[in-house]
Amino acid sequence: MKNRRGRALFLLLIAIGLLCAVTVAGGLLAGSAEFADFSRKNLPPCLAFPFGTDRMGRDMLARALAGLSLSIRIGAFTAVISGAVALLLGTASALLGGPVDAAISWVIDLVMGVPHILLIILISIACGKGTFGVVAGVALTHWPSLARLLRGEVLQLKQAPYIQMARRLGASWGRVLWGHFLPHLLPQFLTGMILQFPHAILHEASVTFLGFGLPPDQPAIGVILEESMAYLSTGRWWLALFPGLSLALTVALFALLGERLRLLLSPVRSQE
C-alpha cells in the first residue's frame, strides 16, 4: 500500500469483492424476496428488517439485494454486448475507411441523436417489452460513444510511425493487429466497457421504472421504486429511500472501479 498504484489496486479488489458479494447474496435471497407474510406488513426499518417491509410484508432488504443482483447481472451482460458491438464497428470503421466508415459514422450520429431513454423504450416495444426488451434496448444504445473513441484511436494508430515501420519490415496485418494494435487498444476498451456499466444499470432501472422493462413480479429496483410511488404521500419513506440508495452506491462503486482500472492500465501513470 505504499504508492498510489498499490492503493488503487487495493480499492479495485475491494470494489470487485463487494459487487460479487452483492450479486451472490441477491441470487441466494431470491426466495425470501418473494416471501410474503401479512403479519408483518408495512413495518418501518427496525433491527430485524433494516430496510423495513412493504404492503405484503416482504423484507425490503432481501428485495433490494435481489434487485441489485439482477441489476448487476443485466448491467454486466448489456455492457459486454455493447462493448463488443463498439469494438467491432469502431475498428471496422477505422480500418476499412471509405463508404463503410461513412455508413458507420452515420449510424453512430443517428443513435446519438435520439435520447437513450426514448430509444430504449422504442427497442423495448419492438421486442415486446419485458426482460428481453430492456436487455436488447440497453445493449443496443450504449455502444456509439465507445465506438467513436475506438475509431479515433485506431485511425491514429494506423498513421503511427512504428506501425508503418512494422509493415515495411514485412510484418503481416495479423501480426500488426495482434502485436501492436491489441496491447494499445485493450486498456482503452476495457475501461470504456466498465465505465458503461453504471449507465447500463441506471438505464435499465429507469426504463423498468417507466413500465417498459422487467415485469412487475421481478424484484428489480425499478419495479420496487415504481411501487413505492403509491405510498409516498402516506409517509412510507423507507420503501423508496433504501432501495434507491443501495442502487446509487452500486453504480458509484462501478464508476470508481472503472476509474481505478484506468489509472492502473494507463502506461503514462505506471511509474507512480
Partner 1 sequence: MGHRLRFTARKLARMVLLLLGVSLTAFLLMNASPLDPLQTNVGQAALGAMSPEQIARLEEYWGVNTPAAERYLRWLGDALRGDFGISLLYRQPVLEVIGQRLSNSLWLMASAWVLSGALGLALGVLAGTRRGRWPDRLVRGYCLVISSTPSFWLALLLLMVFSVWLGILPIGLAVPIGAEHAGVTLLQRLRHAILPALTLSVTGVANIALHTREKTADVMERDYILFARARGETAIVRRHVLRNVALPALTLQFASIGEIAGGSVLVEQVFSYPGLGQAAVSAGLGSDMPLLLGITVVTAAMVFGGNLAADLLYGVIDPRIRRGAAGT
Residues that bind partner 1 (CB under 8 A): 106, 109-110, 112-118, 121-123, 125-129, 198, 202, 205-206, 209-212, 225, 228-229, 232-233, 235, 237, 240-241, 244, 247-249, 251-252, 255-256
State the minimum distance, in angstroms, from the CB of residue 254 to partner 1. 8
Q: For partner 1, which is the closer residue by CB, 72 or 163? A: 72
Which are the contacts of 154, defined by CB distance < 8 A and separation ≥ 6? 90, 91, 94, 95, 181, 185
Q: For partner 1, which is the closer residue by CB, 50 or 115? A: 115
Cβ proximity of 261 and 12 under 8 Å: yes
First-to-last CA distance in the chain? 12
Which are the contacts of 216, defined by CB distance < 8 A and separation ≥ 6? 223, 226, 227
Which are the contacts of 185, defined by CB distance < 8 A and separation ≥ 6? 91, 150, 153, 154, 157
The grid coordinates of residue 21 equal 458479494
Going through the chain in order, the beta strands assigned E by DSSP cover: none
Q: For partner 1, which is the closer residue by CB, 37 or 272? A: 272
Q: For partner 1, which is the closer residue by CB, 127 or 171? A: 127
State the minimum distance, in angstroms, from the CB of residue 169 to partner 1. 37
Which are the contacts of 23, defined by CB distance < 8 A and separation ≥ 6? 68, 69, 72, 73
Q: For partner 1, which is the closer residue by CB, 153 or 226? A: 226
State the minimum distance, in angstroms, from the CB of residue 110 to partner 1. 5
Cβ proximity of 195 and 45 under 8 Å: no
CA-to-CA distance for 44 and 118, rounded, in angstroms? 36
State the minimum distance, in angstroms, from the CB of residue 178 to partner 1. 33
State the minimum distance, in angstroms, from the CB of residue 128 to partner 1. 4
Go through 135-165 and write b for each residue having 16 or more CB atoms within 10 A of its CB, e for each that does not: bbbbbbbbbbbbbbebbebbeebeeeeebee
State the minimum distance, in angstroms, from the CB of residue 164 to partner 1. 29
Q: For partner 1, which is the closer residue by CB, 181 or 197? A: 197
State the minimum distance, in angstroms, from the CB of residue 2 to partner 1. 20
Q: For partner 1, which is the closer residue by CB, 191 or 206? A: 206
CA-to-CA distance for 157 and 135, rounded, in angstroms? 33
Q: What's the full length of the chain, in residues? A: 272
